[in-house]
């Protein structure tokens, strides 16, 4: 400031103008106004014109070291506007000769028409109010180049009329840089806004408009807190105010509840004292991260709760991860104890381990290979081993991920099932298996399996009956009886025995059937049936009953025979006994009288038209003679064997 102490403050005014250029630097501009003519003329006249001329010469010499073009603008008493002085730099900057006559008119003509009105209005306002004038305006040089000028002037209250002394500065580079910056801001995908030191919006790019749902013109001049009151008291306000105070940039991620959106926010201090905000909508990324976190949590939960043993290993480090099931499966107390163990001890046969390694290298993994493993206490179990090789994200590491399923119990079940299947297929009794399905309140029954004996006995193969109901196999009448027993077995949840009669190709057969429920998780899921053929037994029982009945009848008849009073009544009583005891269709009673066989009682079907048989001598041709000689009953195959005994005289 000492440089200007020598200047007359009544004739010199200076103005510091700040502008953000390409590098956001600080431009210090001084506006000088003074009377005079071209520099060389003023210097020559300085000695003869007195102190005023000398002062003007010193000012002219000083302005030669300043940027821009100094000028003096006057308004006469009649309102006429003119340039009283223009620096020599006008030629280089504007392409106009520095003669003051008519310079103002020539200058205005080179302002584009679209900006001319605003320029003239700003001049009129400064003249009218005798106030500081500052205006940015484009200027078209005579050679066609467009430049941007920053005009600045201060009124001189000492002068009669109106006098403004100022400076024209070339700000083309700054304007172009601002335009390029704005174009970049408009094109970037981030939402960008800027506020001044008072938190008023000064810039809102297209992406920010779309994000806010508001146009830039509706935001400019309004404060951030007025537009977004819900940011108050949040991390947004805290971070924004911190940058405003410290002038240090910050970057953070936060969810704005007012929009339900996650933002990655970068906040930078601007040279004008305000802030620039760069918003990137990262909601989808945050949702993906949350989904990934949930999947990882789910995977962690699954791996820690599944019954399969899951592990990850590397050739260099061995097992680097194992879930709880794997640790317990191999009989260790902790993962650390497991990791400290020699992996070769996990296998009952070390040679099998080496073979599995080779197979894994050749195939890139294993798929359900049955392996005999060894626990920490030396006991063994059977497991299914599945592995795969996985490349690490950086590609510098190969992991071996594997899962072991303990199938010892399953193998035991399989052996029991094999034994059961053998018994089922080779059982001497017929067997059938019924599936029980509960539908609403009623149960339905369908055949699942039958064994070979069943197939031979009933004539139905397993393919014939599988999936079919008893009614579909045997018909409604027979099936009704069976389904009643199946329902009873399911209801009682205990074996049920019963006898049934089933028509087969060879005739009616008798069976004693046992139904046994198969209960799984407290529910009857299947019923095993064992029908045993008791036809022969039933026939023997019937025969025994018949014999007992006949013996009882014979006993009663014999008792009655012994009580017969006359010889002539004996044949009739004997015929009654034969009828009651043996129920023979043909009955013939004869008595031996001397050497003759005399017929006494003959009863038979279709004998009503036949004459009475005649007596005849006892000869060897007679069945009666053989019986008398043998002293016991004689059996003949048919009535044809009695032709000689029955002589009808024909």
Four-CA torsion 547, 550, 552, 555, nearest 10 degrees? -120
C-alpha radius of gyration, the chain, whole number: 63
| 271, β-bridge pairs | none
Instruction: Quote the pLDDT of residue 13.
Output: 30
Distance CA 273, CA 247 (A): 9
Distance CA 20, CA 179 (A): 12
> Starting at the edge strand that comes first in sequence, how are the strands of the sheet with 162-170 ordered?
81-86, 69-75, 162-170, 146-155, 133-140
Distance CA 590, CA 130 (A): 174
Say if residue 555's pLDDT is above 70.
no
The tokens for 190 are: 């981030």
Pairing of strands 507-520, 191-195: unpaired
38 band by pLDDT with thresholds 50, 70 and 90: very low
Q: Which ranges constitute the DSSP H helices of 381-503? A: 408-426, 452-458, 462-465, 470-474, 476-492
For residue 507, give the 3-state DSSP assignment: strand
Better-predicted residue by pLDDT, 555 or 357: 357
Instruction: Quote the pLDDT of residue 46.
Output: 43
pLDDT digits (tens, 9 = 90+) for 318-368: 888 888 889 999 999 998 999 999 888 899 998 888 888 888 888 888 888
The tokens for 332 are: 């260790």
Distance CA 243, CA 267 (A): 7
Mean confidence (pLDDT) of the chain: 80
Instruction: Quote the pLDDT of residue 599.
Output: 83
Instruction: Quote the pLDDT of residue 256.
Output: 83
For residue 235, give the 3-state DSSP assignment: helix
Instruction: Quote the pLDDT of residue 425.
Output: 84
Under 8 Å between Cβ of 162 and 242: no
Distance CA 371, CA 307 (A): 17
374 band by pLDDT with thresholds 50, 70 and 90: very high
- Out of 234-243, 396-405, 418-427, 615-624, the most confident range is 234-243
Say if residue 19's pLDDT is above 50.
no
pLDDT digits (tens, 9 = 90+) for 482-507: 899 999 999 999 999 999 888 888 88
CA-nearest of 628, 623, 629 to 642 is 623
Under 8 Å between Cβ of 377 and 400: no
Write the secondary structure of 569-636 as one string of H (helix), E (strand) and C (coil): HHHHHHHHHHHHHHCCCEEEEEEEECCEEEEEEEEECCCCCCCCCECEECCCCCHHHHHHHHCCCCCC
Better-predicted residue by pLDDT, 10 or 569: 569
| Rounded (5°) CA angle 244-250-256 | 90
Domains of the chain, CATH where assigned: 2-175 (3.30.450.20), 188-286 (3.30.450.20), 306-411 (3.30.450.20), 427-533 (3.30.450.20), 584-650 (no CATH)
Of the chain, the percentage scoring pLDDT greater than 70 comes to 79
Say if residue 146's pLDDT is above 70.
yes
CA-nearest of 465, 472, 471 to 450 is 465
| Rounded (5°) CA angle 189-195-199 | 140
pLDDT digits (tens, 9 = 90+) for 395-442: 677 788 888 988 888 887 778 778 878 888 888 888 999 999 987 778
Pairing of strands 432-439, 442-450: antiparallel
Mean pLDDT in residue range 50-60: 51
pTM of the predicted structure, to 2 decimals = 0.35
Under 8 Å between Cβ of 69 and 90: yes
Residue 50 CB: number of other CB atoms within 10 A? 10
């Amino acid at each position: 400031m000492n440089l200007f102490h020598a200047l007359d403050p009544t004739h010199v005014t200076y103005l510091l103008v700040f502008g953000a250029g390409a590098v956001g630097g600080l431009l210090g501009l001084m506006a000088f106004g003074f009377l005079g003519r071209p520099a060389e003329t003023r210097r020559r006249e300085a000695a003869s014109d007195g102190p005023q001329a000398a002062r003007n010469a010193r000012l002219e010499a000083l302005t030669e070291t300043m940027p821009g073009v100094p000028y003096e603008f006057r308004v006469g008493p009649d309102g006429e506007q003119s340039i009283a002085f223009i620096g020599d730099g006008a030629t280089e900057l504007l392409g106009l000769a520095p003669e003051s006559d008519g310079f103002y008119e020539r200058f205005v003509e080179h302002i584009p028409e679209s900006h001319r009105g605003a320029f003239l209005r700003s001049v009129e306002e400064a003249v009218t109010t005798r106030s500081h004038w500052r205006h940015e305006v484009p200027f078209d040089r005579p050679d066609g180049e467009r430049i941007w000028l920053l005009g600045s002037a201060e009124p001189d209250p000492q002068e009669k009329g109106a006098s403004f002394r100022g400076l024209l500065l070339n700000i083309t580079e700054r304007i172009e840089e601002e335009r390029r910056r704005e174009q970049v801001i408009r094109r970037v995908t981030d939402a960008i806004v800027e506020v001044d030191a008072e938190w008023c919006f000064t810039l809102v790019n297209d992406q920010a408009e779309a994000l806010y749902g508001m146009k830039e013109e509706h935001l400019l001049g309004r404060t951030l807190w007025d537009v977004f009151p819900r940011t108050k008291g949040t991390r947004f306000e805290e971070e924004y105010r911190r940058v405003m105070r410290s002038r240090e940039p910050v970057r953070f991620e936060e969810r704005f509840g007012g929009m339900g959106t996650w933002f990655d926010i970068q906040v930078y201090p601007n040279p004008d004292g305000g802030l620039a905000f760069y918003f990137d909508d990262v909601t989808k990324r945050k949702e993906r991260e949350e989904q990934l976190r949930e999947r990882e949590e789910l995977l962690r939960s699954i791996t820690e709760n599944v019954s399969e043993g899951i592990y990850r290993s590397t050739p260099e480090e061995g097992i680097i991860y194992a879930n709880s099931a794997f640790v317990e499966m191999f009989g260790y107390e902790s993962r650390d104890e497991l990791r400290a163990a020699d992996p070769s001890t996990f296998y009952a046969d070390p040679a099998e381990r080496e073979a599995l390694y080779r197979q894994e290298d050749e195939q890139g993994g294993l798929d359900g290979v049955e392996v005999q493993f060894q626990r920490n206490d030396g006991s063994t179990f059977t497991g299914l081993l599945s592995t795969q090789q996985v490349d690490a994200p950086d590609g510098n590491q190969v992991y071996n991920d594997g899962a072991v399923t303990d199938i010892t119990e399953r193998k035991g079940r399989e052996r029991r099932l094999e034994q059961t299947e053998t018994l089922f297929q080779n059982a001497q009794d017929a067997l059938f298996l019924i599936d029980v399905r509960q539908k609403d309140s009623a149960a339905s029954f369908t055949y699942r399996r039958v064994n070979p004996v069943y197939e031979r006995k009933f004539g139905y193969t397993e393919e014939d009956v599988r999936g079919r109901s008893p009614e579909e196999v045997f018909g409604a009448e027979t099936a009704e009886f069976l389904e009643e027993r199946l329902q009873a077995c399911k209801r009682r949840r205990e074996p049920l025995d019963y006898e049934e009669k089933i028509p087969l190709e060879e005739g009616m057969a008798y069976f004693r059937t046992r139904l046994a429920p198969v209960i799984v998780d407290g529910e009857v899921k299947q019923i095993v049936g064992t029908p045993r053929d008791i036809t022969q037994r039933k026939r023997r029982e019937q025969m025994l009953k018949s014999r007992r009945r006949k013996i009882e009848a014979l006993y009663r008849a014999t008792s009655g025979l012994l009580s017969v009073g006359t010889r002539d009544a004996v044949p009739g009583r004997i015929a009654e006994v034969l009828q009651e005891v043996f129920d023979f269709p043909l009955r013939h009673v004869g008595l031996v009288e001397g050497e003759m066989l005399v017929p006494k009682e003959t009863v038979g079907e279709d004998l009503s038209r036949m004459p009475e048989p005649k007596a005849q001598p006892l000869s060897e041709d007679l069945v009666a003679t053989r019986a008398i000689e043998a002293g016991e009953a004689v059996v003949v195959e048919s009535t044809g064997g009695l032709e000689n005994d029955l002589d009808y005289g024909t």
